[in-house]
């Protein structure tokens, strides 16, 4: 008889042939260790976080979960977490230097970059030339 659960969830095997343990849940990972799990962007890429979407509209109406997910998916505002070693190094494309730095809020196209979820939070990895503006205060900015 075939074990349906095992067949549906095959064991992950690493490059060294060892079986990998299942990914720990968010509650099992201390908050200090979560930052270490973020990927380092390679080359000219930038790792960005998505600011949390507000639970209510300006008029006090609570937003549905699907509405909040849609707003996160299409947000033009990102928070720069890490910048790759080659980002903004091309003097022809960036004659005035970097367009942003770690800790900046930036504007980009709503679907720019590769989407990655880590412990339930979405991050994006974008190209350095995807930065369209730096904003001091992103509150109130949304896709038109």
Q: Is residue 24 part of a domain?
A: no
Q: Is residue 124 part of a domain?
A: yes
Question: What pLDDT was estimated at residue 69?
Answer: 87
Q: Is residue 42 part of a domain?
A: yes
Q: Is residue 111 part of a domain?
A: yes
> In tens digits, what is the pLDDT along the chain, a chain of 144 residues?
433 433 444 455 566 666 665 555 555 667 677 777 889 999 999 999 998 888 888 888 999 999 888 888 889 999 999 999 999 999 999 999 999 999 999 999 988 999 998 888 899 999 999 999 999 998 888 888
What CATH number should be reported for the domain holding residue 77? Answer: 2.30.33.40
d(CA 121, CA 51): 10
Question: What pLDDT was estimated at residue 41?
Answer: 96
Q: Is residue 76 part of a domain?
A: yes
- Name the burial class of residue 62, with classes exposed (0-12), middle (13-18) and buried (19+) by CB atoms within 10 angstroms of its CB: exposed
For residue 13, the 8-state DSSP code is B
Question: What pLDDT was estimated at residue 61?
Answer: 92
Q: Is residue 9 part of a domain?
A: no
CA 17 to the chain's CA centroid: 30
Regarding pTM above 0.95, the answer is no
Element (H, E) at 66: helix 65-74
Show the tokens assigned to 75: 């947000």
Provide the domain count of the chain.
1
3-state secondary structure (DSSP) of residue 45: strand
Quote the domain boundaries for residue 119. Answer: 30-135
Q: Is residue 15 part of a domain?
A: no
Question: What pLDDT was estimated at residue 7?
Answer: 40
Question: What pLDDT was estimated at residue 9?
Answer: 44
Q: Is residue 40 part of a domain?
A: yes
């Amino acid at each position: 008889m075939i074990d349906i659960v095992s067949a549906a969830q095959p064991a992950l095997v690493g490059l060294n042939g060892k079986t990998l343990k299942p990914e720990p849940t968010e509650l099992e990972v201390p908050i200090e260790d979560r930052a270490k799990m973020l990927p380092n962007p390679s080359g000219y890429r930038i790792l960005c976080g998505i600011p949390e979407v507000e639970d209510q509209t300006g008029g006090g109406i609570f937003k549905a979960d699907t509405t909040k997910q849609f707003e996160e998916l299409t947000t033009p505002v990102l928070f720069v977490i890490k910048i790759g070693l080659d980002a903004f190094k091309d003097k022809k494309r960036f004659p005035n230097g970097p367009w942003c730095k770690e800790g900046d809020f930036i504007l980009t196209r709503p679907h720019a970059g590769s989407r990655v979820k880590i412990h339930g939070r979405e991050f994006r990895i974008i190209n350095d030339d995807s930065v369209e503006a730096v904003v001091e205060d992103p509150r109130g900015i949304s896709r038109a």
